[in-house]
Amino acid sequence: MTTETFADLVAAEDVLLFVNAAITATGQREFHSDASRQQLSLDFLHEYVRVNYRRVYAASLALDINDHNAVRIVQGLLEHAADASAEEKRTEGRLIAARLAKLPPPRVYRLFRGLRAAKVNNRRTRAIMRDWLAARPDPAHDAVKYRRGLKTAVRHAHLRLGHGGGAHGEGLGGELGDFLFRPGKLPRYRHRLLDAWRRAHYEQGAVDELPFTVAEGFAARHGMKREAFLERMVPRMTRLERLRTQGQRDRATPREPSADVDLTVMPLTRLALYVLACGAELRRSHRTEFTAALRAAARRAAGPHAGSWGRVAAVLDDSYSSSGSGEKRRRPLAVALACHFLLAELAAPGAYVPLWTSGTTDPLLVRPWGPTPLGTRVLDALEHGPDRLVIVSDGWDNAPPGLAGEVLRVWRTRLDPDRRTAVVHVNPVYDADGFDVRRLSVAVPTAGIRDAEDLPALVEIAQFSEGRTGPAELHAYLDRQVARFVTADPSGGPL
């Protein structure tokens, strides 16, 4: 019995380790490790968990993991379908269908290309591809914007695009097949978007009718001036495309925030990234606008949890390492800034104390600089006697090294053994060498975090690493998440 219990505890630790990695790691360079180390570490974790805990590996699709790891899990499950039982395959099919419905289309099309390259072409894979394509709202839009990806999927899933035929053999007109596989055969297309693509090869006016990413190539071919082209294309851009082009324009020529960027609808963490990218002077001049937008986004993210956390103290890391990397610029700092505004909403009115490692008292002007005196800030936070202490940091406590861990150990074992203060550490950075997010102390739970909006759910997951709840509760939690996730998918997915 003891051996079984120990094995269960090890399994639970492995599960939590993988969940933390799947939330934070993207295989890209971080401040303390390069991309190759990140990728190698992630490769090992995926294979280890898929082989040893396949049920949990699939269930991770129902959690708030990032898109990079969701795609890897789907491909891993489909590549190694022979390792699953019939019941597992049915559950996996529903999870995969529900997750693909939430992923951005470019990632799904890249997944389909990866499956083709890996020669994964079983019946279940073809059914998943067929059903996802059938659910796309506008096949012609995908044919123009994701031409290569759609062609790959159609070929690999053996879909017929004949006259009157579609993704199931019935629904996508014959001209779509001609557009994809026999370009130039038809003198014109009945579908407006397909014909706009044809005319854009020789007619500048047709460029404005195309999706932005497709129109960019034609604009360059016609020698259209970039600034004028961007102004004309604003109505056809997605929100992310507007943000990306605005960022490119701001780096070239600093300017006022564009009226095309609607701050009132942006998710909290993405809004924090946008605000930090604006620079100190712009943040000062638009303090009221930015602060109001961040508070509104935080209220939306808090939802029913608003005001329910009592007295809250936060230790927020704005040290130099929060600058992130070239691929993830200022991401750790943006998560800390977003958490600051969210915690202010989660705390009871007037019962929130933020403590930045730099000592700043102006969150809107935070910048990544200086060492990481987490231990000192944790002491300051605990002096306020909070009901809950939240630490947002990459875990590299270096002023002096290890002080935060020792403070938390003494606090938990000597000063607060009854756990009157709930302490949780959320870490936005994956530690490739440790196969996990870096922890401050075994005395407090640590969870990986990518978006501040997930903070309430991550606090719930973090309790499983604290030792007060066992493996049975963890697996029950995963089962509940899976049931909720697949029920939210109206199609139910291929069985």
Q: What is the pLDDT of residues 411-451, one digit of tens each?
A: 988 888 888 999 999 999 998 888 889 999 888 889 999 99
E strand segments, 317-384 = 352-356
What percent of the chain is predicted at pLDDT more than 70? 90
Q: How confident is the model at residue 172 (pLDDT cuts 50, 70, 90)?
A: very low
Distance CA 386, CA 134 (A): 52
Which CATH architecture does the domain made up of 274-470 adopt? 3-Layer(aba) Sandwich (3.40)
Q: Tokens 């997944």, residue?
A: 111
467 Cβ contact partners less than 8 Å away, ≥ 6 residues apart: none
Distance CA 294, CA 314 (A): 17
Region 86-109: mean pLDDT is 95
Both tokens of 331, joined, read 């991401």
What percent of the chain is predicted at pLDDT more than 90? 59
Distance CA 298, CA 25 (A): 24
CA 214, distance to chain mean position in Å, is 25
pLDDT exceeds 60 at position 490: no
pLDDT exceeds 60 at position 3: no
pLDDT exceeds 60 at position 378: yes
What's the Rg (C-alpha) of the chain? 25
Cβ count near 164 (within 10 Å): 10
**Phi, psi dihedral angles at 172 (to 5 degrees):** -95, 120
pLDDT exceeds 50 at position 29: yes
The residue among 241 and 400 whose pLDDT is bigger is: 400
Asked whether the beta carbons of 435 and 41 are under 8 A apart, the reply is: yes
Min mean pLDDT across 124-138, 219-233, 327-341 is at: 219-233
Give buried/exposed letters for 47-84 (b at 16+ CB in 10 A, else e).
Answer: eebbeebbbbbbbbbbbbbbbebbbbbbbbbbbeeeeb
Distance CA 31, CA 324 (A): 5
Q: Where are the domains of the chain?
A: 274-470
Query: Which of 156, 201, 164 is CA-nearest to residue 183?
Result: 201
Distance CA 243, CA 279 (A): 15
Cβ count near 378 (within 10 Å): 29
Respond yes or no on whether the N-terminal peptide bond of residue 494 is cis (omega within 30° of 0): no
**pLDDT tens digit string along 240-294?**
788 777 766 555 455 555 555 678 888 999 999 999 988 899 999 999 999 999 9
For strand 430-431 and strand 436-437, is the pairing parallel, antiparallel, or unpaired? antiparallel
pLDDT for res 493: 43
Q: How confident is the model at residue 163 (pLDDT cuts 50, 70, 90)?
A: very low
Min mean pLDDT across 130-144, 230-244, 372-386 is at: 230-244
Both tokens of 115, joined, read 């499956």
Distance CA 400, CA 414 (A): 22
Region 336-350: mean pLDDT is 97
Min mean pLDDT across 4-18, 155-169, 228-242, 419-433 is at: 155-169
The pTM (predicted TM-score) of the whole model is 0.85
Distance CA 319, CA 322 (A): 6
Q: Tokens 């066992």, residue?
A: 470
| Nearest-5° Cα angle at 418, 412 to 423 | 50
**Phi, psi dihedral angles at 328 (to 5 degrees):** -130, 60
